Amino acid sequence: MAKIKVAVLGASGYSGEELIRLLLRHENCDISIITSRQNAGTRIGEVFPRFSDSDLIFSAPDAGEIAKKADVAFLALPHGLASEFAVPLLKKGVKVIDLSADFRIKDTAIYKKYYKDEHPSPSLLKDAVYGLPERYRDKIRNASLIACPGCYPTSIILPLAPLLENKIVSPENIVINSMSGVSGAGRKVDLPYLFPECNESMRAYAVSGHRHLPEIEQELHAAANCEVRINFIPHLIPVNRGINSTIVASPAGKFSRENIESAYRNAYSKEKFVRVLPYGRQPDTKYVTMTNFCDIGFTFDEHTGRLIINSCIDNLSKGASGQAIQCMNISFGFEETAGLL
């Protein structure tokens, strides 16, 4: 099979670095262009010594140049910028896989409420497919614009959606505490994320109205077929990568351990990247970091009559770049696990 040409925009950031790490060993791809404004003209090995064998050189992002050199472009850019590149690239027939939030939320009023700006290109929203392969594989296959889910949403939608869909847990009073490593904040200098500010400490943040909340609720609503309002409480923890989400939910009409196991079996027994642990086992971030796996465990707490679900992913892999490559594999008809196992 001929190799495809791949562009990585925002290649000097954490998810860009992870895309390059995975793409360099992907047998169906050649990286043809990598962008960074601040590092334009610099060999990648000077910025990331792990790639010192590579001849890749950063260039400033230029949609015209990218369209000449790429079949697919990954946009690993801050939110609000995607359409600046997506619009011209899509016009030239380049597939776009966006890692930012720009095309995830279907309702522009909700986008404005949480991202404090008008949506930059509402006309593209109808074409954008939410890039969660375990739920939207068929749509991803035919999409030209793929909106990869956020890291926290991936860790929450995968364990909760099958249980809401099958009326096993109630859509009401769901509480989710998520813990994320510091790379989730990106590779930039920002006081709260400096080593002495977050090492040996943990803090909750954006406890009411985190930007991932509407995306999570949009997808849980689709699964439950009714409005779902959750408490989503993210925490910053002193590790580089990894997310651990603890979800507490109340039983609904079809609640039983057998029904939970059967719902997960139906949803994930054929999935390569979702592992449901035996009843009562809790996942551990160290077994998913540097992988594209999502590990899920669940336990019924008889004391309160509530279900406790735990899930772990690597925010930079299944939560970002690994998932983006999984989407590319589906979209180009490659083995879905190519470059990821």
* 332-333-337 Cα angle (round to 5): 100
Q: How far apart are CA 64 and CA 309, in angstroms?
A: 46
Return the closest-CA partner of residue 268 out of 231, 239, 293: 293
- Contact call for residue 144 and ligand NAP (CB under 6 A): no
Residue span 24-63 as binding mask against ligand NAP, x where in contact by CB under 6 A, dash where not: ------------xxxx---------------------x--
Residue span 168-207 as binding mask against ligand NAP, x where in contact by CB under 6 A, dash where not: ---------------xx-xxx-------------------
Q: Provide the minimum distance between the beta carbon of 7 and ligand NAP in the complex, in angstroms, as a whole number.
A: 12
Q: Provide the minimum distance between the beta carbon of 225 and ligand NAP in the complex, in angstroms, as a whole number.
A: 27
Query: How many CB atoms are closer than 10 A to CB 202?
Result: 10
Question: For this structure, is 29 an active site residue?
Answer: no
Please choose, out of 257-265, 273-281, 293-301, 314-322, the segment that lies near ligand NAP by the rule CB under 6 A. 314-322
The nearer residue to ligand NAP, 11 or 252, going by C-beta atoms, is 11
CB-count burial class (<10 Å; 0-12, 13-18, 19+) for 267: buried
Q: Provide the minimum distance between the beta carbon of 326 and ligand NAP in the complex, in angstroms, as a whole number.
A: 13
Q: Provide the minimum distance between the beta carbon of 277 and ligand NAP in the complex, in angstroms, as a whole number.
A: 23
Residue of 90, 320, 330, 340 that binds ligand NAP (CB under 6 A): 320
**Nearest residue to ligand NAP, scored by beta-carbon proximity:** 13
Task: List C-alpha distances in Å: 212 to 5, 10, 101, 175.
Answer: 31, 21, 9, 14
Instruction: Judge whether 165 and 239 are in contact, CB under 8 Å.
Output: no
The nearer residue to ligand NAP, 183 or 310, going by C-beta atoms, is 183
Residue of 214, 319, 322, 339 that binds ligand NAP (CB under 6 A): 319
* 338-141-155 Cα angle (round to 5): 70
Q: Provide the minimum distance between the beta carbon of 28 and ligand NAP in the complex, in angstroms, as a whole number.
A: 23
Q: Which residue has the tokens 């260039």?
A: 59
Return the closest-CA partner of residue 235 out of 176, 154, 277, 174: 176
Q: Which residue has the tokens 């590319």?
A: 328
- Contact call for residue 150 and ligand NAP (CB under 6 A): yes
Q: How many residues bind ligand NAP (CB under 6 A)?
A: 30
Instruction: Judge whether 74 and 18 are in contact, CB under 8 Å.
Output: no
- Contact call for residue 339 and ligand NAP (CB under 6 A): no
- Contact call for residue 283 and ligand NAP (CB under 6 A): no
Task: List C-alpha distances in Å: 204 to 207, 234, 236.
Answer: 7, 6, 6
In the complex, the residues that contact ligand NAP under the rule CB under 6 A are: 10-16, 36-39, 61, 76-79, 81, 99-100, 150-151, 183-184, 186-188, 315-316, 319-320
Active site positions, annotated: 151
